[in-house]
């Protein structure tokens, strides 16, 4: 059992709480029983698990068995050590080091039913995490993130995804021009959430593969998307409400896509 705060493994995990270290190592940390269980269930590339026996749950034996079946090493640590390694003040008792998955444009297997979500400059970690979770729930598999978007592996982003990050194909730091070129080359119609757009309830979204752009909380999508040949859509507001939280707005737009596509099947 690791009891020293100066242990090399402990110091290394602590370093992974910083963005630069995560980028260099291509690793990140997930914390909590439910999150680690989701990582195992979704076959995430887990490198190692650290657990404190003081905080074990009844599900630990089954989870431990699954980890052993995949030959994932498990290290027991003292509670004060886990607190040192954790990004939360009161860790639940388990964390895992996971390898980042590097995707390329070739991993986006576009067909007529594909929806590509383009996240442009979202800066709030909770918003990004909620957007990713909602995207997966609505059937989205592919997500592009532009430069200026909050770090995908920020601990607050990860917690908000509730494990969805392990089932999405995520391309980070993609320039708007490259994204638009990909959409044109692969025949994706591009729509953009914008307060100046047409009501999403009064237009027919294009059949076939579709890309949805959602932009920064304060400024909306970047000029590169605004100047492109894209269809702008908005969510009608009542009672003098000016705008919605971007994560909520993204969910409404994604599920309107789902609604229209499902209605075409009946």
Q: In the predicted model, is pLDDT for residue 160 greater than 80?
A: yes
CB 71 within 8 A of CB 45: no
141 backbone dihedrals φ, ψ, rounded to 5°: -115, -25
Residue 238 has pLDDT above 90, yes or no: no
At 107 the pLDDT is: 97
Question: Model pTM?
Answer: 0.92
| Mean pLDDT, range 142-156, rounded to an integer | 96
* DSSP per position, 30-81: EESHHHHHHHHHTT--EEEEEE-GGG--TTHHHHHHHHHHTT--EEEB-HHH
pLDDT tens per residue, range 76-134:
999 999 999 999 888 889 999 999 999 999 999 999 999 999 999 999 999 999 999 99
Domains assigned to the chain: 8-99 (3.30.1330.30), 105-265 (3.40.1280.10)
Average pLDDT over residues 158-170: 94
Does the pLDDT value for residue 206 go beyond 70? no
**Cβ distance 20 to 148 under 8 Å?**
no
């Amino acid at each position: 059992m690791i009891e020293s705060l100066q242990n090399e493994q402990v110091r290394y995990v602590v370093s992974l709480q910083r963005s630069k270290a995560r980028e260099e190592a291509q690793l990140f940390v997930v914390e909590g029983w439910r999150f680690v269980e989701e990582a195992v269930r979704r076959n995430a590339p887990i490198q190692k698990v650290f657990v404190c026996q003081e905080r074990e749950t009844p599900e630990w034996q089954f989870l431990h068995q699954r980890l052993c079946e995949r030959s994932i090493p498990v290290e027991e640590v003292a509670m004060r050590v886990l607190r040192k390694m954790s990004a939360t003040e009161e860790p639940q008792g388990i964390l895992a080091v996971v390898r980042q998955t590097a995707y390329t444009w070739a991993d986006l297997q576009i067909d007529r039913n594909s929806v590509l979500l383009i996240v442009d400059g979202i800066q709030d970690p909770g918003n990004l995490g909620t957007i990713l979770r909602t995207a997966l729930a609505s059937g989205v598999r592919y997500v592009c993130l532009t430069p200026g978007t909050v770090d995908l592996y920020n601990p607050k982003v990860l917690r908000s995804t509730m494990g969805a990050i392990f089932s999405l194909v995520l391309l980070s730091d993609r320039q708007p021009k490259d994204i638009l070129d990909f959409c044109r080359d692969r025949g994706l119609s591009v729509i953009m959430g914008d307060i100046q757009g047409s009501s999403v309830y009064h237009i027919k979204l294009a059949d076939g593969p579709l890309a949805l752009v959602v932009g920064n909380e304060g400024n909306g999508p970047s000029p590169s998307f605004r100047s492109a040949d894209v269809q702008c859509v908005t969510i009608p507001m009542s009672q003098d409400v000016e705008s919605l939280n971007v994560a909520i707005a993204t969910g409404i737009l994604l599920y309107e896509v789902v609604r229209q596509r499902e209605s075409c099947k009946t």
